[in-house]
Amino acid sequence: MLDRVIGLETEYAIRPRQAADEQTPRFLMYRALTQSLRRRMPLATAKHFKDGSFLSTGGAVWFEAERETSGAGLIEGATPECRGPRQLLAYQRAQDALLEESASDELTGRPFSLIKNDRDVDDNVYGAQENYELPIGHGWRLFAWRAGLVAMTPLALFSWFSSLMFGVFLWLYVGGVELYKLVVRSRKPSTPPAWIESVLIWWLRMANFPLGAALWLHCKCFAFAQTRRHLTSFLATRSLICGSGRLDRANRFHLADKAGSINCIVGFGGFFHDRPLYAMGHFFKRIYVEPFFSPRDLFRLFAARQRLQIGLGDSNMCEVAEYLRIGTTGLILDAIEAGKFGDSPQIRRPIRELRGVSANSTLGGNISCRGRRLATPLEIQWYYYDVCRTFVDEHPDSTADAWEVLGYWRDTLTALAQFEQDGVLPEPLIGEIDWVTKKYLLDQAGVGATWEQLKKIDIRYHELSPDGYFMKLQQAGLVRRLLNDEEVARAQRLPPPDTAASLRGRLIREFAIHRDAVQANWHVVIIRDGKKRRKIELQKSIRRPSRWRNRETTHEAKTLN
């Protein structure tokens, strides 16, 4: 129970300290951050399609930019593969702390702060994704998934050919620019004009549209179909317990930062201008992009267990909220695999209701479910809690994590039920649930506060620095901590055991003495020693009896002490 491989991907907005740095390309700030990280720990160059580095903790940091010529971009942190919500929470908090310290490093010459939220003041949406390893299907659905992948081979070949032509054109363009610079003796760095980038992006979209459309339909029909059937109603109402809160332009408060931007159930997360509840873009990347870097990764699409990515979640500041976000979802996935959800509520229009739940800060209103049933968001959450409570109670391998998740889940729903009844903001949830904490701060600002003043509170609540409003609450002792400082410090130094991250982190720490001596991705580590090159395949899932894991963890703790 709660033992599957899980991970989080979090995008951080960049906030320059000085107004003069506003025009500085964000990529330069990212480079400054990685330089600071390299002074703290060994790094491996990411063998990937975008600029990034893997850390000796097993996680990674990337630069995320939709258009290189814009100068904009985000810093994305990916935790190492973990097992269990508490372990993942520790590595997420360690990642936050590492990136915060590196961003504010004065030695880089470009100190800045990071905003861990999902929407900026101009309503540009980014955010957090959750990843859970589970079966993509069983029986005939698994067979249909694999057969469909084989049937898409001609479309994949066409996309690869188009990509090669794109690469040739880009190479000719860059070569021409460099030749021109050589003639005129210019040393200025070259950046392609924005119109060329727009043409290239349009070209790639059109060339890959047949493959993208076929894969989208295939994912919608077969990828995690049974899991999605039982999980969607929970996710549509999950913002009650782990939404981060948001103030919109009309001065209305929403429970979740990201829910209002979700526009489909299944999608690729941008290829069709979509923002899906379930993001399947990693399947598209594995077919279209990753074969150029690691051809063997293509065949991992045929494995029975795959990565389910949820694109709905908010970036949480409260430890309790983040623990509930991953813990409750993990418990429900365990119960679904065990066949405990026979008659789960099926919301008729999940996307509309998801937005409605987030927009209703009084928690009222009914949701229309199939079978002519009506239920409130809280009633749906109580249904999932009751099923999970029965499942944990009957399960012989119930863990302390499972009972702890249930305890926080029950207490949160109880406090929210009281809030729904009397309309008084539940004080026990201040410092535990983000939307409650943020609403408390906004209410404290007073009735006469302008929208600009309130929006500043909304954004800077998520700032990872001593000046961030949540961090000030934490310093004042108004935030409940689930982790102690030793857990977070350990997660900043060592990778988690029993996953691929353990071996990846150890290899990076041992061999990444010189820059570019080690390259890595999520499945492979490549070590270079002069002309020698050694490729090490990482075992994705390492399963051991829990008693051995506990002994190993205890031994590591004694060694550290």
Give the pLDDT confidence of 407-442 residue by residue, as tens digits.
999 999 999 999 999 999 999 999 999 999 999 999
Reported pTM: 0.90
Range from 12-16, 81-85, 290-294 carrying the lowest mean pLDDT: 290-294
Task: Please compute, for residue 237, the number of CA atoms within 13 A of its CA located in the half-sphere on the CB side.
Answer: 28
- pLDDT over threshold 50, residue 28: yes
**For residues 163-190, average pLDDT:** 67
Of the listed ranges 235-249, 459-473, 544-558, the one predicted with least confidence: 544-558
Q: For 262-280, what is each residue's pLDDT tens digit?
A: 999 999 987 778 899 999 9
**120 C-beta neighbours (distance < 10 Å), count:** 14
Q: How confident is the model at residue 177 (pLDDT cuts 50, 70, 90)?
A: low
pLDDT (0 to 100) of residue 180: 63
- For the chain, give the mean pLDDT: 88
* 67 has a pLDDT exceeding 80: no
* pLDDT recorded at residue 298: 84
Whether pLDDT at 281 is above 50: yes
What pLDDT score was predicted for residue 107? 78
Residues in the chain: 561
Q: How far apart are CA 273 and CA 201, in angstroms?
A: 13
More confident residue, 547 or 305: 305
Which segments within 127-168 are labelled E, that is strand? 128-135
Residue 336 near residue 135 (C-beta atoms within 8 A)? no
Q: Which of 97-101, 280-284, 296-300 has the lowest mean pLDDT?
A: 296-300
pLDDT tens for 386-409 read 999 999 999 888 889 999 999 999
Q: Backbone phi, then psi, for 264, in 5-degree steps? A: -160, 160
pLDDT for res 319: 98
Q: Summarize the confidence of residues 382-387 as an average pLDDT.
A: 96
Alpha helices in 360-468 (DSSP H): 377-394, 400-422, 434-444, 451-460
Confidence of residue 184 (pLDDT cuts 50, 70, 90): low
Q: Quote the pLDDT of residue 188.
A: 57
Please say if the pLDDT value at position 557 is more than 70: no
The CA–CA distances, whole Å, from 2 to 197, 221, 400 equal 44, 27, 10
- Residues 6 or more apart from 532 whose CB is under 8 A from it? none
d(CA 298, CA 292): 10
Is the model's pLDDT at 321 over the cut of 90?
yes
Q: What percentage of the chain carries pLDDT values higher than 70?
A: 90
